[in-house]
Structure 1
Amino acid sequence: MARTYKYKEAIPMQRHVSNCLASLLLLTLINPSEARQADPEQAIPEFRPGYLVGYLQKEDLPNSLALLPPPPAAGTPAFLLDQTLAAKSQALRGSARWELAIRDADLKFPAAAGTFSCALGAPISEQQTPALYRLLRRTLADAGLATYSAKTRYSRTRPFVLNQQPSCTPEDEPKLAKDGSYPSGHSAIGWAWALVLSELAPEHADAIWARGRAYSESRMVCNVHWYSDIREGREVGSTAVARLHSDPTFQADFAMARKELATARSQGLDSGRDCAAEARALAAGID
């Protein structure tokens, strides 16, 4: 989708944000923030109801166009692999794995907050872990927006457009068809979340990384991204996290989130999700 949104300044002295592609990937949520960093205790401005600005200013976002190679060209072995895995993933249509991919497609909060709760072994909510909740909402913007220089340049056609097979979110197909496929923003976001959470809870790192990988693979299951899209999306997510670690506001939220997790564990709070059902769904991978 090539829809353009313009927003007025969210806080005093902010510059106007203009001419940034909005995407269903981010559910047309935000544009790059040039806002000053807010104190962790202050209200964070939104560019669209329910969606917070990120930690990084526009000029500090990783440049995915400089970072990534071009997407695989038609007829190359890499694109043949993309097509082969796309075809295999369609065998999961209608399965529990397909249903999980539908849930993974939803970037809205609070729904998206619980994505990693089972892997983390603790709840993630605005009430129980507010700093962690805020951390995920804001890093969503940073990792997702970092994909856009490459997405805009390459405007790669999405799988469901090329193979004429359904996606897991048919209501979104008209918008997605106009939005570049490479790299995957969901994959950048999910992998960024996985890296941040694995640092907060290293004892659960393997489970968190596995969930982050599966989260990105949900985009293949949904037939909205190619394998190379999600692989390079994870690269962008990793780069965004590396950049975030130099941001003082991110560091402050990170420290508070660590304390919240310790408190949640000491209170014996569980994930609040059906983790057994999630595990069964994840067991059905793409062969």
Structure 2
Amino acid sequence: MHRRGAFIVAIAAAGLSACAGTPAALRPQAVQAAAAEAKGYLTGPLIQALADAVPPPPVAGSPTDLADKARSNQFKTLEDSDRWLLATAHAELRPPLALQHFDCALGVRLGSAATPNLNRLMQKLFDDSDAAAELVKARGFRARPVGDDPARRPCQRVSEAGRRGASYPSGSSTVATVYGEAFAALDPERATEARRIAHEIGLSRLICGMHYPSDVAAGEVLGKAVFEAAAAAPGFDADLAAARAELDAVRAAGLTSPACAAERLALATPLP
């Protein structure tokens, strides 16, 4: 099945259809505002409400769970391929280093001290999205593919505790989606490319054996909800404007990533 078709099936099975947009229960106006938290843009109660609106993981042995496991096994064929190597890089999701995943999509060179406002914006968004995903994980445990199959090779170094960690939702996909939405807001002309890379980071977590398709689908929906809520928070617009000025300055400097040719090659790898 074509990769986008597979994701549409996974999202529909989980009751998370992206076609309808962000579910009403996940929109910021559906929850109560409270005093701002120190780390990110969102309040503790708002983060909790966003997490509470995410459906539970698929029941073990259910059709969705079995389909997830069958699909996950297909990704083993990509081990040691160019796409596998790209997935190892995508495992890094903390700013500022993670911002380099979007270099080629945006036509710039990111992840440096030259963009403190951009780095700060993305750190706040990381904190909000990571906190929301962790709250969902704590509510209902689902094992990772590398946890279900101890012989499964992850594409990154994983501790035993990490192998036994919770898979649903994909926190990496949640964070990547928030980054993608933020870059789309910062550079609307390249919004499609930014969102594509965010989705590819989610696919990388499937290739790595760290998440199942339903985990990534849920993470993408949660990430969009987190960004929508953060974008409505006090101070966000000013932070976005400051980050956009830095992005424009970096682009004017003309620096681009030498890794873009390799990325294009890796992303052209057919998925199983």
Aligned length: 238
The structure with the largest helix share of the pair is 2
Does structure 1 conserve the Cα–Cα contact (< 8 Å) formed by 2:93 and 2:176?
Answer: no
Q: Tell me the equivalent position of 1:133.
A: 119
Change (3 A) 1:75 1:178: closer
CA distance in 2, matches of 1:254, 1:279: 29
Change (3 A) 1:133 1:223: same
Q: Give me the CA root mean square deviation.
A: 2.0
**1:242 corresponds to 2:200:** no
Shift of 1:36: 5.4
Q: Tell me the equivalent position of 1:283.
A: 268
TM-superposition CA deviations, 1:95-135 (whole Å, max 9, x none): 11111111111234443221111111112234322211221
CA distance in 2, matches of 1:226, 1:255: 36
**1:168 corresponds to 2:168:** no
Change (3 A) 1:162 1:130: same
Q: Tell me the equivalent position of 1:5.
A: none
Matches within 5 A, 1:1-287: 53-61=39-47, 63-164=49-150, 165-169=152-156, 171-270=157-256, 272-287=257-272
- Name the amino acid aligned to 1:105: A
Shift of 1:194: 0.3
CA distance in 1, matches of 2:268, 2:247: 27
CA distance in 1, matches of 2:112, 2:48: 28
Does structure 2 conserve the Cα–Cα contact (< 8 Å) formed by 1:167 and 1:173?
Answer: no
Does structure 1 conserve the Cα–Cα contact (< 8 Å) formed by 2:153 and 2:209?
Answer: yes
Does structure 2 conserve the Cα–Cα contact (< 8 Å) formed by 1:55 and 1:247?
Answer: yes
- Name the amino acid aligned to 1:184: S
TM-score (norm. length: structure 1): 0.77
TM-superposition CA deviations, 1:235-261 (whole Å, max 9, x none): 110110011012223222111111222
Shift of 1:220: 0.6
CA distance in 1, matches of 2:209, 2:183: 27
- Which stretches in structure 2 are left out of the alignment for 5+ residues? 1-33
The structure with the largest strand share of the pair is 1
Identity percentage of aligned residues: 33
Q: In structure 2, the residue corresponding to 1:54 is in which secondary structure? A: coil
Q: Tell me the equivalent position of 1:14.
A: none
Does structure 2 conserve the Cα–Cα contact (< 8 Å) formed by 1:181 and 1:225?
Answer: yes
Does structure 2 conserve the Cα–Cα contact (< 8 Å) formed by 1:123 and 1:129?
Answer: no
Shift of 1:283: 1.5
Change (3 A) 1:108 1:273: farther
- Which stretches in structure 1 are left out of the alignment for 5+ residues? 1-33, 39-52
Structure with higher RCO (Cα < 8 A, 6+ apart): 2
Shift of 1:94: 0.8
